[in-house]
A and B are shown apart, each in its own frame.
Chain A
Amino acid sequence: MDALLELDGVTKSFGGLVAVRNLSFSIGEGEILGLIGPNGAGKTTVFNLISGVYRPEAGSIRFDGKVISGLKPHEVSSLGVARTFQTVRPFARMSARENVMTGLLFGRGGINAPRRATQKALEMLESVSLLDKAEVRAGRLTLAEQRRLELARALATSPKLLMLDEVVAGLNHSEMNAMVDLLRRIQPERRMALIVIEHVMKAIVRLCNRIVVMNGGEKLVEGSPSEVMRDERVVAAYMGRRGNGGESTTTFSSAPQ
């Protein structure tokens, strides 16, 4: 079976710092992959490389049979790759409805007239429990609401691959569970692949069947959640960073803002 996304020996550095080094992994259609690692491991940089924000210095990225390394972010997006951001980036001056409409209008769903996007946008807002906030400016929503809005906006582009960068960071326990439930509901019905960056292990374990662990820009381990959590190298990587490994089964490190 051909992979949907395939990274092959990808490297990216900033000045002297190698943020991602010779990284290879792949993900199949409809699969959910967890991407974890201590702070600064290079996870967000991987998303930026895939989505075209950065161009890899070495290696290649293939999506759906095409080489996408070197394409611009909007070109990658129109091939069917969507993402959310570690620090939320809502269109603050637009209403929640207009945020989602923007995703619909520029996504792959083939909707070009705003009038025809309205109804669909409201339905999508309802699916992330934001219908009553449809006309509220996105800048005025709470963090949990903005994360759900960003998710709806990304989904609105009808992606084949959705990349989520710490969607539960900063959420309280029940908000986190609601988000995980939402993802578990949405993902199979849309038959899309997911890559999930997460520090909260409970969320990862409930979502993913396979996990890639990064450390210092390199892939450390790849395997099922239970394999990965038992792996000594993984525990060592986190302990090395934190100086204690006591609570590493729930949270590998405190979620950064």
Chain B
Amino acid sequence: MADRSRVWRFAVGMRNPSQITLLISLFFATVYPLTLSTEGSRVLSVYAVYFMWISLAESWNLVGGYAGLLNLGISAFFALGGVVGALALFDGFPFIISLLLAGFAGAILGVALIPTFRLKSFYFAIATLVVPLVVKPMVEFLGNRADFTVPQTVILTPIGLYYSGLVLAGITIFGAYFLMQSRVGFALRALGDDELASSSLGINVLLYKSIAVLTSGFIASAAGAYYLQIIGTINTTLFQNLNFSLFPIFMVIIGGIGTFEGPVLGAVVFSLINYYVTSQFPGSTVDTFILSLMIIGVAVLLPRGLVSSLHELRKRRTPIPVK
């Protein structure tokens, strides 16, 4: 017979401070535009990139952080989403549909990676490096061009851009949260740690890896269609743009790999630092150099990221109850 009160104490009340912080931030992000004048609301488009990075980092984390599959070419999903989004807008579909169609295209691209699951996970990483090289020329051939510029008329207003980004990021964050709290989340984290042990418990490794890659692909491509709204044009060079493949990884590493709030924190912190460093050294490659050093520093000093380090700090302060 288990000692109920002791068991109970572990079971309840595990509200974690970073979750509360996140909820409060989302609340402020929602009401913030209401404090601005019509004129001042133009600044809102500045925040769009944060929402975009949060979604992209969260998407990468599902596969790379939880399921332990290294995606080195998320830029291909992102760029494909941008292209499909542009085509949808050309055809007169509204923004929301362009986002969804882009998402489905990303999920289908994810299906193309499923055959690599039977091999060592090393081959998945190689395949993700190859995907941009294969998809880019295909898109250029089928679309018969490399530039997908949409007319200004189908671009969202700053306030529309802001709120749709907030919704995109919000759905991504809470989607990731609930997914990871669910049975699926347990399967992904388990197989990310040990595939053989997972399958011995009844987890269909192939199925759950597929779910992760499809979901991640959907989000990354939807983020690409959102990016199109930010800059108004997609060039196919985006498929091989290293920044878009690496920055989400950096963000996840900084924030905390395999945690759902890590990518959010990492995306914000990294974007701020990136903005600052780039503005200090305009037009040089010094910024990339500094950012790279910073990532190595974080990986060495805080291997489990900011979120986990904050948790550890808190645990150390809390006295451990005597058995």
Contact = CB atoms under 8 A, between A and B. Distances in A.
A93 B200 contact: no
Contacts of A89: 194, 196-197
A77 B258 CA distance: 27
Interface in B182-226: 182-183, 185-187, 189-190, 192-194, 196-205
B197 A98 contact: no
Contacts of A153: 201
B11 A82 contact: no
B183 A112 contact: yes
Given A122-B11, A131-B6, A131-B7, A92 B323 contact: no
Contacts of A101: 186
Interface string A97-123: 110011101111000111000110011
User: Looking at A72, A98, A105, A113, which has the most chain B CB atoms within 10 Å of its CB?
Assistant: A105
A37 B12 CA distance: 47
Contacts of A90: 193-194, 197
A83 B192 contact: no
B193 A92 contact: yes
Given A74-B203, A74-B205, A77-B202, A126 B2 contact: yes
Interface in A16-63: 51-53
A106 B189 CA distance: 13
Contacts of B192: 93
A123 B3 CA distance: 9
Contact of B189 (A77, A94, A113): A94
Chain B interface extent, by class = 20 to 34
User: Looking at B10, B200, B323, which has the most chain A CB atoms within 10 Å of its CB?
Assistant: B200
A53 B192 CA distance: 18
B183 A114 contact: yes
A135 interface: yes
A105 B183 contact: yes
Nearest to B65: A93
B10 A135 contact: yes
A103 B201 contact: yes
A238 interface: no
B203 A106 contact: yes
Interface string A147-169: 00000011011000000000000
B181 interface: yes
A78 interface: yes
Contacts of B194: 89-92
Given A98-B189, A102-B186, A77 B200 contact: yes
A114 B181 contact: yes
A134 B183 CA distance: 19
A232 interface: no
A247 interface: no
Interface string A121-143: 01100100001101100000000
B197 A77 contact: no
Interface string B5-16: 011001100000
A105 B183 CA distance: 7
Contacts of A103: 201
B245 to A, nearest CB: 24
A132 B323 contact: yes
A216 interface: no
B279 to A, nearest CB: 37
B196 A77 contact: no
A97 B10 contact: yes
Contact of A94 (B10, B193, B196, B202): B193
B7 A123 contact: yes
A111 to B, nearest CB: 9
Contacts of A91: 189-190, 193-194, 197-198
A126 B189 contact: no
Interface string B221-243: 00000000000000000000000
Interface string B58-96: 000000000000000000000000000000000000000
A90 B203 CA distance: 15
A21 to B, nearest CB: 24
Contacts of A92: 193-194
Contacts of B202: 74, 77-78, 106-108, 157
Contacts of B197: 85, 89-91
Given A114-B183, A122-B11, A93 B189 contact: yes
Given A92-B193, A106-B186, A131-B6, 7 more contacts: A77-B199, A85-B197, A102-B203, A114-B182, A131-B10, A153-B201, A154-B201
6 contacts: A77-B201, A77-B202, A91-B197, A118-B11, A126-B3, A154-B200
Interface of A: 51-53, 72-74, 77-78, 82-83, 85, 89-94, 97-98, 101-103, 105-108, 112-114, 118-119, 122-123, 126, 131-132, 134-135, 153-154, 156-157
Q: Which 5 A-B pairs have the closest CB atoms?
A: A73-B199, A106-B202, A77-B202, A89-B197, A91-B193
